[in-house]
């Protein structure tokens, strides 16, 4: 057993230690040094990211920490991703105008979250994992609450759901300990012998899914996304919590349990319902950040479907999708943050026409939107395609039901596209709605632009060069080795061919001199529209109501109405049930001093009476 010093000097220990120390330094700096706090956080997370990539490249376990930490194909790639996202978000925050008022707490908790998350990913002991998992719930609560009193309800909701799932995790750990007498995560694989094993697996799965935000334990994500600061959402629910939740699910299904057909069926059902239900909700949202949050839920479905397929290809697809989602989803939230800063709102009804004013933001948003909708040759397509193949492979085990899962996943992809078409139209392309003045909007500064463009570039890179770059170096080692595809998509070759056709079209344009196009006024039935002082609001199309026809179709209308009443929100239903039973007790706690004094006096009298007897 080596000393503490050895652990701290090793890159693995440093990856955890450096961000923790960074947070501490930031917390100790004076409150007024906002800029310096940001720079400290950026520097600290940058060092952590470099260390994490060194761990990733070197592999191997550090001496001495053997039973406590594990560095294998899965954990080292998630570690590198966690640390990198921490750095990118810190960089974005440096330029984001909403951060400075809360800079000291914000940067400290950001750095601590990175450190704790790195620890949780590396943890090999279930108790250690539980402690770090709980701490992450706490930092999540604090960071959501930072954006002011508006967010306190969302923070509480997140804490209750994520913290509540920690209890299930604890229960699962107790059962595993009862069955095996060990709390190691890389111990022998538990066979499904009795009800207890199923219970333990379901407890672990529930904890993982609550963290990742799958239906029905998803409802904290939209609330958090709407109320919290954009970089907080981009970091926590959009990337970090997905990485952690799906990491845990993958580790549990691969290293601890060997899920049978029944458990896989449960996972795939959860995945398919998550994909479709969440994207249907996203389709009808009016707020950009809330809309994006529903997609953050929906995308989890693909990862769960991949892992639930129970085939190596499905697992690899699920893990790849986890990584891809973190990339484009955080990019999208950063875009939302940029738009919010410059336009002062994320209400889709009041935005519009920002494509020219904010070209970099628009380019990022367009790329990430196409990636999340699974448009070839971007990264989202590749990982979805792998998940689909995994589902087809699972055909033998589960009977005809795989067709339903696959069709749900594929229509989910089209619905995602629809919802992002609406976003692109309402935020960047349409005329701003009447009464909105966005002429002052300008592109954001470089600290914000750099992370957005970097993430957009990764969307393209991981799609076009999927096999040589991410798959071979990160995903396949994490999923346990090379797996042959059953379909064919040579992403590099295909992209080159599409590029050739595109260039051919450009040549056509060049020959016919389409580049020297004349600008003409738009034609709206020959009418002059929006030119007068009072623009005719009735002919403006913001795109918010594009899917009204679908929304008003039965039975969808009733389902949307029920969702509006929060009937599908486990948290709200749960609180109503709870409050029904504790209502009487609540009434007794009126906060009126004389009432309390009366109770105390009555109690005293009863005591005296009892003692006197």
Partner 1 sequence: MEMLPLTLQVLVFPGLLFAAAAGLVTSWVDRMVTARVQMRVGPPFLQPFYDVVKLMIKETCVPAGGARALFLAAPLAGLAGAALASTIIWRAFLARGSGFSGDVIVLLYLLTLPALAVILGSFASRNPLASLGGSREMKLLLAYELPFVLAVLAVVARTGALRLEEILAAPAAATRPSGIIALVVAVLCMQAKLTLVPFDAPEAETELSGGAYIEYSGPPLAVFKLTRAMMLFTMPVFLVAVFGGGIRLGDGVLPAVAGVLKVVGLVVATILIRNTAPRVRIDQAVRFFWGPATLAALVATGLVFVGL
Positions in 522-541 near partner 1 (CB under 8 A): 522-525, 529, 539-541
Judged by CB under 8 A, the chain residues 321 through 360 that form the site for partner 1 are 353, 355-356
Sole binder of partner 1 in the list 517, 531, 585, 592 (CB under 8 A):
517
Q: How big is the chain by its Cα radius of gyration, in Å?
A: 26
Contacts of residue 226, defined as CB under 8 A and 6 or more positions apart, other chains included, come to 154, 287, 289, 290, 293
**Is there binding between residue 587 and partner 1 (CB under 8 A)?**
no
Footprint on residues 443-462 left by partner 1 (CB under 8 A): none
Interacting span for partner 1 (CB under 8 A) from 111-119, 227-235, 465-473, 488-496 = 488-496
Which residue in 153, 178, 514, 604 binds partner 1 (CB under 8 A)? 514
Contacts of 291 (CB under 8 A, 6+ apart): 282, 285, 348, 419, 423
CA distance 262 to 277: 22
Range 383-402, binding partner 1 (CB under 8 A): 385, 388-389, 392, 395, 399-400
Residue numbers 169-208 binding partner 1 by CB under 8 A? none
Contact 18, 44 (CB under 8 A): yes
Residues 6+ apart with CB under 8 A from 455: 88, 327, 328, 330, 331, 334, 364, 368
Binding residue (CB under 8 A) for partner 1 from 193, 549, 558, 613:
549
Per rule CB under 8 A, is residue 434 in the interface with partner 1? no
> Nearest approach, Cβ of 453 to partner 1 (angstroms)?
16
What is the nearest approach in angstroms of partner 1 to the Cβ of residue 352? 9
Under the binding rule (CB under 8 A), the answer on residue 366 touching partner 1 is yes
DSSP 125: B
String of DSSP letters for 66-124: TTTB---HHHHHHHHHHHHHHHHHHHHHHH-TTSGGGHHHHHHHHHHHHHHHHHHHHB-
Among the listed residues 262, 506, 597, 601, the single contact to partner 1 using CB under 8 A: 506
551 or 572: whose CB is closer to partner 1? 551
Q: Which is nearer to partner 1, 127 or 499 (CB)?
A: 499
Q: Which of 77, 92, 547, 560 binds partner 1 (CB under 8 A)?
A: 547
Output the smallest distance, CB 226 to partner 1, in A: 24
Q: Let me know: does 306 contact 394? Beta carbons within 8 Å.
A: no
Q: Considering the complex, what minimum distance in angstroms separates the CB of residue 474 from partner 1?
A: 23
Collect all residues with Cβ–Cβ distance below 8 Å to 551 and sequence separation of at least 6. 283, 284, 557, 560
Q: Is the dihedral of CA 400, 404, 405, 409 positive or negative?
A: positive
Output the smallest distance, CB 285 to partner 1, in A: 16
d(CA 32, CA 281): 42
Nearest CA-CA partner of 233 in 348, 346, 75: 346
Stretch binding partner 1 (CB under 8 A), from 62-70, 124-132, 148-156, 372-380: 372-380
Residue number with CB closer to partner 1 (151 or 303): 303
Q: How many of the chain's residues bind partner 1 (CB under 8 A)?
A: 78
3-class SS letters over 394-453: CHHHHCCHHHHHHHHHHHHHHHHHHHHHHHHHHHHHCCCCCCCCCCCCCCCCHHHHHHHH
Cα of first residue to Cα of last residue in the chain, in angstroms, is 64
Residues 104-123 that bind partner 1 (CB under 8 A): none
Determine, following the binding rule CB under 8 A, whether residue 607 of this chain makes contact with partner 1. no
Binding to partner 1 (CB under 8 A): which residues in 550-579? Answer: 550, 552-553
261 binds partner 1 (CB under 8 A): no
Q: What is the DSSP letter of 534?
A: S
Please identify, using beta-carbon distances, which residue of 435 and 515 lies nearer to partner 1: 515
Q: Does residue 488 belong to the site contacting partner 1 (CB under 8 A)?
A: yes
Kindly tell me which of 151 and 279 has the beta carbon lying closer to partner 1. 279
Q: Does 520 bind partner 1 (CB under 8 A)?
A: yes
Which of 30/526 has CB closer to partner 1?
A: 526
- Contact between 165 and 206 (Cβ < 8 Å): yes
d(CA 130, CA 107): 24
* Interface residue with partner 1, options 504, 580, 581, 609 (CB under 8 A): 504
Q: Residues 290, 296, 302, 308: what is their CA dihedral angle, to the nearest 10 degrees?
A: -110
Q: For the CB of residue 538, give the shortest distance to partner 1 in the complex, in Å.
A: 10
Residue 555 CB, shortest distance to partner 1, in Å, is 11
Shortest distance (Å) from residue 139 CB to partner 1: 39
The span of 52-60, 160-168, 505-513, 604-612 binding partner 1 (CB under 8 A) equals: 505-513
Residue 69's DSSP bridge partners are 123
Residue 159, interface with partner 1 (CB under 8 A)?
A: no
The b/e string for 366-405 (b: 16+ C-beta within 10 A; e otherwise) is bbbbbbbbbbbbbbbbbbbbbbbbbbbbbeeebeeebeeb
Determine which residue in the list 44, 225, 237, 543 makes contact with partner 1, applying CB under 8 A.
543
Window contacting partner 1 (CB under 8 A); options: 151-159, 192-200, 257-265, 409-417: 409-417
Using CB under 8 A as the binding rule, whether residue 414 contacts partner 1 is answered as yes
Half-sphere exposure of 481 (CA within 13 A, CB side): 3
Contact between 581 and partner 1 by CB under 8 A: the answer reads no
The least CB distance from residue 497 to partner 1, in Å, is 4
Closest-CA residue to 296 (of 343, 328, 264): 328
């Amino acid at each position: 057993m080596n000393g503490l010093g050895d652990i701290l000097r090793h890159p693995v220990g440093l990856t955890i230690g450096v961000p923790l120390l960074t947070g501490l330094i930031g917390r100790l700096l004076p409150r007024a040094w906002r800029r310096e706090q940001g720079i400290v956080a950026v520097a600290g997370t940058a060092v952590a990211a470099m260390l994490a990539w060194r761990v990733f490249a070197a592999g191997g376990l550090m001496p001495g920490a053997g039973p406590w930490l594990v560095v294998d194909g899965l954990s080292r790639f998630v570690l590198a991703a966690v640390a990198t996202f921490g750095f990118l978000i810190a960089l974005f925050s440096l330029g984001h105008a909403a951060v400075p008022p809360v800079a000291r707490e914000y940067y400290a908790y950001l750095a601590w979250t990175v450190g704790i998350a790195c620890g949780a990913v590396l943890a090999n002991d279930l108790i250690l994992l539980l402690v770090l998992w709980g701490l992450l719930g706490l930092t999540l609560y604090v960071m959501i609450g930072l954006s002011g009193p508006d967010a306190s309800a969302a923070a509480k909701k997140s804490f209750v759901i994520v913290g509540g799932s920690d209890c299930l995790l604890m229960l699962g750990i107790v059962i595993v300990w009862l069955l095996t007498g060990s709390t190691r995560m890389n111990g022998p694989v538990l066979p499904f012998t009795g009800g207890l094993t199923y219970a333990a697996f379901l407890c672990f799965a529930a904890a993982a899914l609550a963290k990742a935000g799958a239906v029905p334990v998803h409802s904290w994500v939209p609330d958090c996304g709407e109320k919290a600061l954009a970089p907080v959402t981009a970091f926590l629910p959009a990337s970090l919590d997905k990485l952690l939740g799906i990491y845990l699910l993958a580790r549990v299904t691969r290293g601890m349990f060997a899920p049978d057909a029944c458990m896989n069926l449960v996972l795939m059902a959860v995945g398919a319902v998550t994909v479709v239900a969440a994207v249907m909700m996203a389709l009808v949202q009016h707020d950009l950040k809330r809309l994006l949050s529903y997609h953050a839920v929906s995308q989890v479905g693909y990862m769960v479907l991949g892992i639930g397929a129970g085939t190596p290809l499905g697992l690899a697809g699920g893990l790849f999708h986890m990584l891809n989602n973190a990339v484009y989803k955080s990019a999208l939230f950063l875009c939302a943050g940029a738009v919010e800063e410059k336009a002062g709102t994320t209400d889709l009804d009041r935005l519009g026409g920002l494509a020219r004013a904010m070209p970099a933001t628009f380019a990022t948003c367009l790329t990430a939107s196409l990636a999340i909708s699974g448009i070839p040759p971007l990264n989202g397509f590749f990982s979805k395609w792998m998940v689909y193949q995994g589902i087809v492979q699972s055909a033998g085990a589960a009977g005809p039901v795989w067709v339903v899962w696959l069709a749900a996943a594929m229509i989910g992809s089209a619905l995602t596209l629809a919802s992002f078409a609406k976003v692109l139209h309402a935020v960047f392309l349409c005329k701003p709605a009447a009464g909105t003045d966005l002429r002052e909007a300008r592109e954001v500064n470089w600290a914000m632009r750099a992370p957005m463009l970097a993430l957009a570039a990764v969307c393209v890179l991981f799609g076009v060069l999927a096999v040589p770059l991410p798959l071979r170096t990160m995903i396949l080692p994490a999923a346990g080795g090379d797996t042959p595809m059953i379909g064919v998509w040579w992403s590099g070759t295909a992209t080159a061919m599409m590029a050739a056709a595109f260039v051919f079209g450009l040549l056509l344009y060049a020959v016919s001199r389409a580049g020297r196009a004349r600008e003409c006024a738009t034609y709206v039935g020959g009418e002059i529209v929006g030119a007068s002082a009072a623009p005719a609001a009735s002919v403006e199309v913001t795109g918010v109501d594009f899917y009204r026809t679908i929304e008003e179709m039965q039975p969808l209308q009733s389902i949307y109405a029920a969702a509006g009443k929060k009937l599908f929100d486990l948290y709200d239903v749960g609180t109503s049930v709870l409050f029904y039973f504790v209502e009487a007790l609540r009434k007794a706690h009126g906060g009126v001093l004389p009432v309390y004094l009366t109770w105390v006096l009555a109690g005293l009298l009863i005591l005296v009476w009892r003692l006197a007897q």
